Structure 1
Amino acid sequence: MDSPIRPHRPRILVLEDDMLLALDMEDHLIARGYETAGPYGRVAQALEAIPDLTLAGAIVDLNLAGELSFPVIDCLTQRGIPLIVCSGYAELPQVKARLGSLPLIAKPWSPERLDALMAQTFQADTRAPLRARRG
């Protein structure tokens, strides 16, 4: 029996070192119709994976156990991949200055705010939870 054709699901890279937060983010993205790459917990892991991935966007934590994710942010930006920085440090003036016009969301993130940022940043349709789209 042939398997059903699955529609294209945009892939979002997740870079987050807190496993519970990473899984929560992954669940949120999947419920909205996205596929995830990762979650990655280290800068080196993400940098190694990015060249082999087709990405619609990324959600990147800024501080990964003391290691700042600027190399990943720079790599994604150079490749033209839209991203959202999700960080407990998002509102600090020096962070805002370093990140320029990149969209920021503070931790703990709200699903509504993240959905709004994803719709603006990833320029995809506003994805409703899969359960609401069926039927």
Structure 2
Amino acid sequence: MAAATGTALAGKHVLVVEDEFLVAIDIEAELHENGARVTCAGTLAIAEACAKRERFDAAILDVNLHGKVSYPVADILRQEHVPFVFHTGQGEKRTLSERYPGVEVCNKPCDGTALVSVLGRVLADENAA
């Protein structure tokens, strides 16, 4: 699976939206190990600005950012046809699957390796479609 993940992520620009610093660092390190270029955003305002300003190949979105939901960022990414996965500890899987059908949801705690593996699979599936 690691080879497939590395292949899917190599050279890709990935947005990581995460307000917990240590979690963001873990995810960023895993993405770098798989050849991705990473932009991190720790607040909703920064994440929205990045999503509007830059072109991404994929994204990992924490749902709750200091009490604000990342839905505006997800909406921008969806409009731009950028695949993403949600990374959440809030248990909103049902709400997320209703609002964003087909989008993968990884519940915290989920280590960076597993999360990046899911993102790699999403990208590989997107490229195969």
AA paired with 1:57? A
Secondary structure, aligned partner of 1:122 = helix
AA paired with 2:95? Q
**TM-score between both structures, scaled by the size of structure 1:** 0.76
Which protein has the bigger helix share? 2
Query: 2-side partners of 1:91 and 1:50: how far apart?
Result: 23
Secondary structure, aligned partner of 2:124 = coil
Counterpart position of 2:5: none
Asked if the contact 2:20–2:42 (Cα under 8 Å) also holds between the matched residues in 1, the reply is: yes
Q: How does 1:71-110 map to 2 (within 5 A)?
A: 71-90=72-91, 92-110=93-111
Asked if the contact 2:30–2:113 (Cα under 8 Å) also holds between the matched residues in 1, the reply is: no
Size of the aligned set, in residue pairs, is 116
**TM-score between both structures, scaled by the size of structure 2:** 0.79
Identity, % of aligned positions: 28
Counterpart position of 2:29: 27
Structure 1 unmatched ranges of 5 or more:
1-7, 125-135
Residue 94 (structure 1) shift: 2.8
Residue 90 (structure 1) shift: 4.5
AA paired with 1:15? V
Structure 2 unmatched ranges of 5 or more:
1-9
Structure whose alpha-carbon radius of gyration is higher: 1
Counterpart position of 1:131: none
Deviations 1:15-66 (A, max 9, x none): 00011111111111101111101x1011111111223322110000000111
